[in-house]
Amino acid sequence: MITKIAMRALLLVPLLLPSLVMARASEYTDTVALFKNAGPSSAFFDDSYAYAVFPTVGEGGFVVGGARGKGRVYVHGRFVGTTTMTQVSAGFQAGGKAYSQIIFFRDKSALDVFESGTFEFAAGASVVAITAGASASAGTSGTNAGASAGEHDARNTGSYEKGMAVFTIAKGGLMYEAAIAGQKFSYTPRANSLARQ
């Protein structure tokens, strides 16, 4: 028998669901806006075929480490699928960090390689770390990290390598190691996505 409290809670679920979806969507919108305003990465929005954005990639380790992040793939600004990144690394490393990452695809063939389900960044892959003026704080309502970036904040201007360009922005944490080598990606097309041109 369902109690009155349980019944009321069930009635609230349909009302709360849209706000949960909107909160998740705004996480992606906010991350895209951050990269659009980050100087070196902003120009890639105009000339890329597609991009994959990961609002938060969490990484940690002590000698052996790992990272994981969930993202979305957009073709010409239209959401077409989801992606998950995993990474296992070994070597001198200690600590943990969180960062946002975006991968730009110059053309459809570069995106096709990524969407194959077997894509992995090789040892020589490079990333432009946008070292922004970052701030972090902790309080009774939780932790908060922010970053502001300008064109002068990146190590270099970035370029396509094998049809892809990668940028990251630190969200907080300390870690001696920053590499995308070994990142593996899975891709799931959006169910109601229309065929791309």
State the chain's maximal CA–CA distance in angstroms: 64
Cα 115 to Cα 119: distance, rounded to the nearest angstrom: 7
190 token code pair: 């959006």
Q: Which of 101, 113, 115, 102 is nearest to 162 (CA)?
A: 113
As given in the structure block, the two tokens for residue 157 are: 């201007």
Q: Which residues lie closer than 8 Å to 78 by C-beta, 6 or more apart?
A: none
Dihedral class, residue 63 (left if φ above 0, else alpha if ψ from -120 to 50, else beta): left
The one-character DSSP state at 196 is P
Q: Which run of H or E residues covers position 6? A: helix 4-36
Query: 164: number of CA atoms within 13 Å, CB side?
Result: 25
Q: How confident is the model at residue 81 (pLDDT cuts 50, 70, 90)?
A: very high
pLDDT one-digit tens code per residue, 126-179: 788 776 543 333 333 333 333 333 333 333 357 898 999 999 888 765 554 456
- By CB atoms closer than 10 A (0-12, 13-18, 19+), residue 160 is middle
Residue 19 token pair? 């706000």
User: For residue 2, what are its two tokens?
Assistant: 């369902």
- pLDDT at residue 118, rounded to an integer: 80
Per residue in 184-194, pLDDT (tens digit) is: 999 999 886 54
Would you state the structure tokens that stand for residue 104, as one six-digit string?
């730009």
pLDDT digits (tens, 9 = 90+) for 38-74: 878 999 999 999 999 999 988 776 666 678 899 999 9
pTM over the 0.85 mark: no
- What is the amino acid identity at position 36? K
